[in-house]
Amino acid sequence: MAATEQGTLAPALLAAALALPGLSPLAQAEIAPVQGYVGLRVLDYQDSQPDAERVRVKAPALTALVPLGTQWSLAGSWITDSISGASPLYHSKSLSRLHDVRHASDLSLTHYLPHGTWRVGAAYSSESDFLSRSVSAGFTRSDESKNTVWSLQTAVTRDLINPVNRLVQNETRETVDVLAGLTQVLSESDIVQVQLGWSQSQGYHSDPYKLLDERPRQRQRQTLQTRWNHHIQDWRATLRSAYRLFRDDWGIRAHTFELEHVQTLPGDFKLSPSVRYYTQSAASFYVDADGSRSPFAPMPPAGARYHALDQRLSTFGAFTLGLKLSYTFNEQTVFDLRLEHYEQRSAWAWGGGSPNLLPLRARSLFWGVTHWF
């Protein structure tokens, strides 16, 4: 089952499963590592709707970084995730069974300079119906104080799509991503970051497993993301906040607000509760659920060139509540455990959404161990 569009949960969850404990999303100018690490992360994810369990994802992941002399490092990851359960043919109706296994890996080489870094990388992901390959490059540059860091990253991805239902064969999609950022240390307690992203993709964007799904063969996206970390010395705590604006030429506008409190506890423990709110508007070609036609699918408007009955392209809002516990065994080994609850409802969107869409709930459990050497 190829993960295709906005709102897909599994890719974001897998990315979170790879995050290393103790590393802030904000950082000053990078310096060459003197230690390497190896980490194991495991994700267990289950989503559901009223009276129906849907997608289950189990994903172990290995990550590693090795210093190469005093100016280079090599990092990589490997993931195998098993996806099973059921996915709706349209909106939240008519569940169809699915099962797939994905193998993914990436490798990056970083060169450290006195006032910046250069990085090149490649990634590969394979499923029964989907093959993705990408190359990336990026650099950072800091001022003399190393309190101001500029960054620029770019990636080119090519996907090959061959759904098992043979609706299409050997369809392709090419995507170019660019991300520019500025990280600024404001004080001993405050650091902020601003990132601007641009992405353009050409090719097959439709979901071959959805009923009446025909999407444009191109998509352009822009993002603005801001982060602010504030350390509270008296509490031995850090408050992390973030906001993300997303927009594309399909008509989707999305906002994400996130807040996390990282609290140091006695006995080498850290406890981190978090909350995230997400809201989006619908794609311009989204066909809304029609309660009067249930259990049948609503028909697209007469003469419509593009149309999609995918709930992920609808207007909705969502809250995620998370709690993370990490424990430092010693200076080299850290264990972490994170539990998240996600709930999506049309009524939670700014302005409200369709009353005919069922709510979606998801539970995700992450655990991992990282050892530095």
What mean pLDDT value characterizes the chain? 91
Task: Collect all residues with Cβ–Cβ distance below 8 Å to 316 and sequence separation of at least 6.
Answer: 279, 280, 344, 345, 346, 348, 349, 353, 357
CA distance 149 to 29: 6
What's the CATH code of the domain at 324?
2.40.160
- Residues facing residue 122 across a β-bridge: 107, 135
* Cα distances (angstroms) measured from residue 156 to each of 10, 96, 162, 235, 301: 21, 33, 20, 44, 35
CA distance 24 to 102: 28
Q: How many degrees, rounded to 5, is the angle at CA 305 between CA 299 and CA 306?
A: 70
CA distance 150 to 116: 9
User: How many domains, the chain?
Assistant: 1
Structure tokens at 91: 């909106």
Kindly tell me the burial class for residue 206, based on how many C-beta atoms sit within 10 Å of its own C-beta (0-12, 13-18, 19 or more).
buried
DSSP-derived secondary structure for 196-209: EEEEEEEE--S-TT
Residue 29 pLDDT: 54
| pLDDT (average), residues 202-224 | 97
Buried-exposed string 306-331: b where 16+ CB fall within 10 A, e elsewhere: bbbbbbbbbbbbbebebebebbbeee
Which pTM was predicted? 0.91
Query: Does 360 map to a domain?
Result: yes
Residue 6 pLDDT: 38
Query: Does 63 map to a domain?
Result: no
Q: In which band, very low, low, confident or very high, does the pLDDT at 25 lie, cut at 50, 70 and 90?
A: very low
Q: What is the pLDDT of residues 250-274, one digit of tens each?
A: 999 999 999 999 999 999 999 999 9
| pLDDT (average), residues 42-63 | 93
Structure tokens at 64: 């590693």
- Which range of residues forms the domain containing residue 170? 9-32+113-372
Query: Does 319 map to a domain?
Result: yes
Query: Does 143 map to a domain?
Result: yes
Q: What is the pLDDT of residues 132-141, one digit of tens each?
A: 999 999 999 9
Structure tokens at 319: 């809250």
Q: What is the pLDDT of residues 92-139, one digit of tens each?
A: 876 778 899 999 999 999 999 999 999 999 999 999 999 999 999 999
Task: Collect all residues with Cβ–Cβ distance below 8 Å to 151 and sequence separation of at least 6.
Answer: 138, 139, 140, 141, 179, 180, 181, 182, 183
Q: What is the pLDDT of residues 270-316, one digit of tens each?
A: 999 999 999 999 999 999 998 888 888 999 999 999 999 999 999 99
Residue 65 pLDDT: 97
Query: Does 103 map to a domain?
Result: no
Residue 274 pLDDT: 98
Query: Does 154 map to a domain?
Result: yes
